């Protein structure tokens, strides 16, 4: 484990360390440590060439749990891997800035879990109160989740991607960086205030 204060002092811009955010792309977009690249945990073993062979690796997630699991996957391959203690949450709580690529929204996985859970609860309640056949709704959701786990194809996630709140938003040309990517540097204090400036 490495603390947020230690990571803040490191000069990753000079290649002394490589920061790797192992959260999903949508989580990464809502706020990540400056300089961190995004390699989701499920992709890490297939993207080893994206890891710097000459710099120590610091793994980051929201709280540190997924980064710890990723470190376990990389441990047999290299010994210079560590985890940011407390993850992005600890970074934000310390008052350090995060880079925001999109307006804050729930991660797609969280949306799927919420809707799937609601459908199961609704199906169970209606089966008990209205008609036993409503139990098939809960069974259908379970079947869909099983299919998603076996095939890595989630039909509910595909549908949610098309919802208005998950679509990219238009931005003015002034809010576009030199690479053509919308980014902002948000300094979020633990008190909840934030000041936002656009990266140039």
Beta strands in 22-63 (DSSP E): 37-38, 57-60
Averages of pLDDT over runs of 10 residues in the chain (200 residues) are 85 73 87 92 92 92 93 92 94 90 68 92 94 93 90 84 70 39 41 34
20 lies in the same domain as 69: yes
**Residue ranges making up the domain that contains 155:** 108-166
80 lies in the same domain as 152: no
Cα–Cα distance list, 63 to 13, 60, 68, 184 (Å): 24, 8, 10, 22
99 lies in the same domain as 159: no
Partnered with residue 98 across adjacent β-strands are 186
Neighbouring C-alpha atoms within 13 Å toward the C-beta of 70: 33
Q: Which two tokens stand for residue 20?
A: 């790797």
User: Is there a domain that residue 172 lies in?
Assistant: no
Task: Give the total number of structural domains in the chain.
Answer: 2
**pLDDT of amino acid 104:** 52
Q: How far apart (Å, rounded) are the C-alpha atoms in residues 189 and 194?
A: 6
**pLDDT of amino acid 126:** 95
The H-assigned helical ranges of the chain are 4-9, 25-29, 65-74, 87-93, 108-129, 135-151, 155-161
Q: Which two tokens stand for residue 11?
A: 């000069």
Which active-site residues does the annotation give? 61
Write down how long the chain is. 200
**pLDDT of amino acid 180:** 39
pTM over 0.95? The answer is no
Give the burial class of 27: count Cβ atoms within 10 A of its Cβ; 0-12 exposed, 13-18 middle, 19 or more buried.
buried
């Amino acid at each position: 484990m490495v603390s947020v204060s230690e990571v803040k002092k490191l000069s990753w811009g000079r290649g002394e360390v490589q920061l790797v955010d192992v959260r999903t792309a949508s989580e990464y977009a809502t706020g990540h440590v400056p300089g961190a690249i995004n390699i989701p945990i499920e992709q890490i073993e297939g993207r080893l060439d994206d890891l710097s062979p000459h710099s120590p690796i610091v793994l980051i997630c929201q709280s540190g749990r997924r980064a710890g699991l990723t470190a376990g996957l990389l441990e047999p391959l290299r010994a210079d891997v560590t985890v940011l203690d407390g993850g992005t949450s600890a970074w934000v709580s310390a008052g350090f800035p995060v880079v925001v690529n999109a307006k804050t929204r729930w991660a797609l996985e969280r949306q799927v879990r919420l809707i799937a859970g609601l459908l199961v609860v609704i199906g169970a309640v209606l089966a008990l109160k209205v008609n036993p056949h409503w139990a098939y709704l809960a069974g259908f959701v379970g079947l869909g989740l099983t299919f998603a786990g076996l095939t890595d194809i989630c039909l509910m996630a595909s549908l949610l991607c098309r919802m208005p709140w998950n679509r990219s938003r238009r931005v003015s040309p002034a809010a576009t960086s030199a690479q053509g990517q919308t980014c902002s540097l948000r300094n979020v204090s633990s008190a909840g205030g934030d000041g936002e400036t656009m990266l140039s």
